Amino acid sequence: MVHLPVNSPVAHCGIIVNAGSRDELPEDHGIAHFIEHMFFKGTSKRKAYHVLSRLEDVGGELNAYTTKEETTLHASFMKEHYPRAIELLSDILFNSSFPSHEIEKEKEVVIEEINSYLDNPAEYIFDDFEEMVFANQNIGRNILGEPSTIKKITRKRICSFISRNYSTDQIVFCSVGGINPKMLIRMIERHFSDVPENICKRRATGNYVYTPVTSEKVKGTYQNHCMLGNIAFDLHSSKRMGLYVLNNILGGQGLNSRLNLSLREKRGYAYNIESMYNPYTDTGLFTIYFGTDSRNLNKSIDLAHKELKRLCDEPLGKVQLHRAKNQIKGYLMRSYENNENIMLSLGKSLLVFDKIETIEDIFRRIDAVSPSDLVDISRIVFNQSSLSTLVYK
């Protein structure tokens, strides 16, 4: 458990489970995300309507999401409703009944979610790229699943997945709000102390097979959509912070990123261009995405390669590096203005690293990154011969 007291009338709490889509059996593709949906469909003492209304009746919100490695339930509410929120989270996580008629109804909902997602190539290409890079490997499968596997989900399969993966020693409760910590602990003990211990076999770390791939797919889109990328460092790598800094310089959220200046501002080739770094427990992925007119596709790819090569060949000067570090620090501090973000960040830090890293700790690690570190990391991750490419035309 982790809690941060704050002086605010609004509070947030959540439960993060170390189980996601990478933990699925191939025949159960999509079941982790499907279970997230089913947590809202009734418990041993509540019907679906009462689950949805419990916090909404007092102006609160109940939400959830699934990633490749975690399933998260979280709530936002007025601080006087802590007892209501904690009891509800406990009930839906440990007492969900997964009624068969709700399972059949929710299959149609999830299949429509998949269809909506497939209608958006700028979104779908990200998962398609991961599936290409991590071919036939659990980490590469998309989170939503396929209609064919969703249709085969049963209550028995849901319960089997939970039994295999919802280990009580891999569940974290996190909270940010104006409540006395001792009172919070008493509430947690009241609603969680009788949960039976369930220690599961932890997921095996992967030996990832990666061979650079170039693929073009005809999608009949107005724009060409392009992804470039390479496997990268995992969550525990000492090089992770350096790649975060590089990613921000290259194609982060700032309009002054190198890729945005090169492709959009100087030449008008793209409306949206970004780079991303997604670290997982035992691997990671660095990607660049942009959409452009077909006549500018190859020129845009060449420009992206040029920017990557600059980072491999030209160490940042003192002023450039100082500016880059200040920029990423500013983005981090702004994210810490959102207490819900803080709550989820604290929970994941405890779950993954078994410790809480303060903003000062993070800033020290940013400050420790040197120009030579960035060149070394660039030559590993941005090496042109190691990059994969996927294009939708």
Q: How much is the average pLDDT of 342-346? A: 96
pLDDT bucket at 239, cuts 50 / 70 / 90: very high
What is the pTM (predicted TM-score) of this model? 0.94
* Rounded Cα gap, residues 103 and 351, in angstroms: 30
User: How confident is the model at residue 199, as a pLDDT?
Assistant: 87
Band the pLDDT of 379: cuts 50, 70, 90: very high
User: Where residue 225 falls among pLDDT bands split at 50, 70, 90?
Assistant: very high
pLDDT-based confidence at 206, cuts 50/70/90?
Answer: confident
Average pLDDT over residues 348-372: 94
Share of the chain above pLDDT 90, in %: 93
Fold: same for 2-192 and 214-392: yes
For 153-168, the pLDDT digits (tens) are 999 999 999 999 999 9
| pLDDT band at 208; cut points 50, 70, 90 | confident
Distance CA(179)–CA(269), nearest Å, equals 51
CATH number corresponding to 2-192? 3.30.830.10
Q: Are 11 and 340 in contact (CB under 8 A)?
A: no
pLDDT digit string, tens, across residues 53-106: 999 999 999 999 999 999 999 999 999 999 999 999 999 999 999 999 999 999
Please classify residue 26 by burial: count the beta carbons closer than 10 Å to its beta carbon, then call 0-12 exposed, 13-18 middle and 19+ buried.
Answer: exposed
Question: CA–CA separation, 54 vs 88, rounded Å?
Answer: 8
Question: Taking the domain 214-392, which CATH number applies?
Answer: 3.30.830.10
Look at residue 358 in the predicted model and tell me its pLDDT: 87
Q: Identify whether the C-beta of residue 375 lies closer than 8 Å to the C-beta of residue 315.
A: yes
pLDDT band at 326 (very low <50, low <70, confident <90, very high): very high
Query: Would you state the pLDDT for residue 132?
Result: 96
C-alpha triplet 321, 323, 327: angle, nearest 5°: 115
What integer is the mean pLDDT of 280-294? 96
Q: What is the pLDDT of residue 200?
A: 81
Confidence of residue 280 (pLDDT cuts 50, 70, 90): very high
Question: Residue 198: its pLDDT value, please?
Answer: 87
Domains of the chain, residue spans: 2-192, 214-392
Q: Rg (Cα) of the chain, in Å, rounded?
A: 22
Judged against a pLDDT cut of 90, whether residue 353 lies above it is answered with yes
